[in-house]
Chain A
Amino acid sequence: MAGLTIDNVTKIFEDDDGEIVAIDDVSIDVADEEFLVLVGPSGCGKSTLLRMIAGLETVTSGTITLGDQIINDVKPQYLDVAMVFQSYALYPHMSVRGNMSFGLEESTDLSDDEIDEQVTESAEMMEIADLLDRKPSELSGGQQQRVALGRAIVRDPEVFLMDEPLANLDAKLRAQMRTELQRLQEDLGVTTIYVTHDQTEAMTMGDRIAILDDGRLQQVGDPLTCYHQPANQFVAGFIGEPSMNFFAMDLTGDRLVGERFEYPLTDALSAAVEGRDAVTFGIRPEDISFGGSAGEHAFEMDVDVVEPKGDENIVHLRLADADDEFGAHVSEERSPDAFVATISGMESVEAGESIVATIPPTAVHLFDATTGEAIHNRSLDNVDVSPVE
């Protein structure tokens, strides 16, 4: 068990057409026994980073340290890490027992009996003890995944590496395995680095999450910090589902002026935007509330589409008097007068209804219009984010 340090690591792939910078100067400190999630959109480099730790890709510059040993040039055979692959990578011609014993046979001096013991133990932990003599082709997807996990656990490594291990499972199974994995990791206390593109997985599973985009580290921190205090617009938009509402605004006097609405600034907000002409205005769907009368920070809106999820309702809104200049919006493109709000499942609204939506200034996030950096994040003062007594 040891901590992992990724220090100014860069990875450049050389193609026939030129260079591709897959990882750009990334530094992360992973503490011993920590569960770190590497998350980001497809192509952001998270898998590449994981593979560099595993020794399956070379490091162009920077160092990766495990414990007190630099492992840049250590070959995978000699690293004490175990990896779970997205495709599970089970050996099809060996039984489950064979699959789980392989690692111990090849990298340790243990006797056959000792190996058998450890395999049985791990198999019981993963609840696949009754499958030990089956071949992978005879197992379901979920079972195969457990075998892949079991194969990693039995090695008792210093680090677990997981490359989107739940991606091939159906939704229900995925949710179930999420919880199991967390429990498992806590029980075993092994440093774990987990790669996923699913921000829900990242939020629910990680002690800390590291968000990558285009090879660059956007933010590292615990999930709630990343959620409430995003370092930049990318993080703010990536974390949270449905994602934050963004609007381009210009600063005019004491208000922010967007294409379709204006937002008067409070003192706190004014101070933040000091010296800038343009910002990106952000508000999370769950911070928009309904009811009351129109005012400075409350706007008349028409309900466009309602997605009832049971526990909550996702409401797509458009500012009243939308003169359809922007046409009916189609999924990805959000027109400058469209909002998404999340309200309790118990509140009901209908499409076509007119309501008043309040955007509280305390929940507003502001980002630099050019760099995307966060200028001002919502304050948590009035919100109860304290531990339950």
Chain B
Amino acid sequence: MSAIDRIADRVRRYRFGRSDEESTSDARLATDGGHRTGGLDLGPEFVQALPFWLPAGLLVALFVYGAIGWNFFISLTDWSGLQASYWPLDFEMYTRFFGKVLEGGLLGGPIEYWSFRNTIVLLIVFTVLTLIVGLLLAILIDQQIRFENTFRTIYLLPMSLSFVVTAVFWQWMYNPRYGIINSALETVGLDFFAVNWIGAAQFKLLAVIIALTWQFSGYGMVVYLAGLRAIPSDQFEAARVDGAGTIKMYLRVIVPQLRAATLSAAVVLMVFALKAFDFLYVIFGSRPGPGADILSVMMYRTAFDTSQFAYGAAIATILFVLALGVIGPYLYIQYQRGDL
């Protein structure tokens, strides 16, 4: 067995050994009086608890779930402009949308295709990039450095800013003439990279992804830092003693244990990517063009600029379904594990 295998083995035994301990004492507590059935059944407890959660629940039911349902209903109508024609109810809006998507992607082609494609690209690239950068930051911070709090505060700072604000800053940075990015690239001699970041269609999306990663990697860092700190330090030490190189240690031993953190962070990031609107709207307005148009912007444009409410609602529903596809499995897993 190589050193790495020995380490991984030890980690596995440590982890399962530890959880055995926990489960015995937990089992003792659970069978010696845990609320396995949720304690007291429906009855006075339920009634007494109602005034606490029901008002909030009603607000959520109405504004969140009711609204989603209503939105779906609207998407089935033909409502656009001033005429609120509710009949016939059909999936015309959806077939129209997917029809256009399937028509495919020449630059002059249907915007639906580009919107959909860009959304998926943003979703994946942004999430992966943010996770990686976040992990790197977390690993750096975890090295018992001085001024740890200061560094963490700085890396998380972008999360406290509105996307409107960051859009203003990044737009300035990306400015082809005065912006820092192109100035710096030219100074270093990398003129080739000094493109029109937010003007040229092929670079817009990348520019957006970079900016959004900048804004969100602090979140990734926070999540991974918590995950790293949850791993007992003995494992790091054991790996060191067994002679593992740093990178290998991280890849084979530490990163696999960050699966739960990665999963929850990925879900949040993907959902964010789906609803990212503010940033793009400030830089591109409601018409980013095929280079950067995404479903959330398209939805706004369709419903509020051109008043095609039904079509806009359909796009919104599609966004919602995409989000559901991301969070549904995740929430289900959490519920099953009892982690809720």
Interface residues of A (CB under 8 A from B): 13-15, 20, 22, 42-48, 50-51, 56-58, 75
Contacts and interface: CB of A to CB of B under 8 A. Distances in A.
B336 to A, nearest CB: 10
Interface stretch (B27-35, B65-73, B221-229): B27-35
Nearest to A40: B32
B44 A51 contact: no
B146 interface: no
Contact of B40 (A13, A48, A58): A58
Contacts of A56: 33, 39
B32 A43 contact: yes
Contacts of B28: 42-43
Nearest to B40: A58
A51 B36 contact: no
Nearest to B338: A16
Nearest to A41: B28
Given A20-B31, A22-B31, A43-B31, A13 B39 contact: no
B36 A20 contact: yes
B37 interface: yes
B21 interface: no
Report whether over half of chain B's contact residues are helix, strand or loop; otherwise say mixed: loop
B31 A48 contact: yes
B41 interface: yes
Contacts of A58: 37, 39-41
Contacts of B31: 13, 20, 22, 43, 45, 48
A42 B32 contact: yes
A50 B35 CA distance: 14
Contacts of B27: 43
A14 B32 contact: no
A14 B37 contact: yes
A106 B141 CA distance: 49
Contacts, number: 40
Given A43-B27, A48-B32, A75-B44, 9 more contacts: A13-B36, A14-B36, A14-B37, A22-B31, A44-B32, A45-B31, A48-B31, A50-B33, A58-B37
Interface residues of B, number: 14
A57 B33 CA distance: 7
B32 A46 contact: yes
A197 B217 CA distance: 51
A380 B25 CA distance: 40
B39 A57 contact: yes
Nearest to B27: A43
A95 B337 CA distance: 38
Contacts of B35: 57
Nearest to B29: A47
Interface in B1-60: 24, 27-28, 31-37, 39-41, 44
A154 B27 CA distance: 33
A51 B33 contact: yes
A256 B219 CA distance: 74
A353 to B, nearest CB: 39
A47 B37 contact: no
A22 B37 CA distance: 13
Identify the interface centre among B24, B28, B32, B35: most chain A CB within 10 Å of its CB.
B32
B64 to A, nearest CB: 29
Contacts of B24: 42
A31 B44 CA distance: 32
A22 B125 CA distance: 52
A20 B28 CA distance: 13
Contacts of B34: 13
Contacts of A50: 33
Contacts of A20: 31, 36
Which 5 A-B pairs have CB atoms at the shortest separation, nearest pair first? A47-B32, A42-B28, A13-B36, A51-B33, A47-B33
18 contacts: A14-B36, A14-B37, A15-B36, A20-B31, A20-B36, A22-B31, A42-B28, A43-B32, A44-B32, A45-B31, A46-B32, A47-B32, A47-B33, A50-B33, A56-B33, A56-B39, A57-B33, A75-B40
Contacts of A45: 31-32
B287 to A, nearest CB: 53
Nearest to B25: A42
Nearest to A215: B31
Nearest to A58: B40
A58 B36 CA distance: 11
Identify the interface centre among B24, B31, B36, B39: most chain A CB within 10 Å of its CB.
B31
A45 B34 CA distance: 11
B37 to A, nearest CB: 6
A75 B31 CA distance: 21
A56 B34 CA distance: 10
Nearest to A15: B36
B28 to A, nearest CB: 4
A48 B44 contact: no
Contacts of B40: 58, 75
A114 B202 CA distance: 81
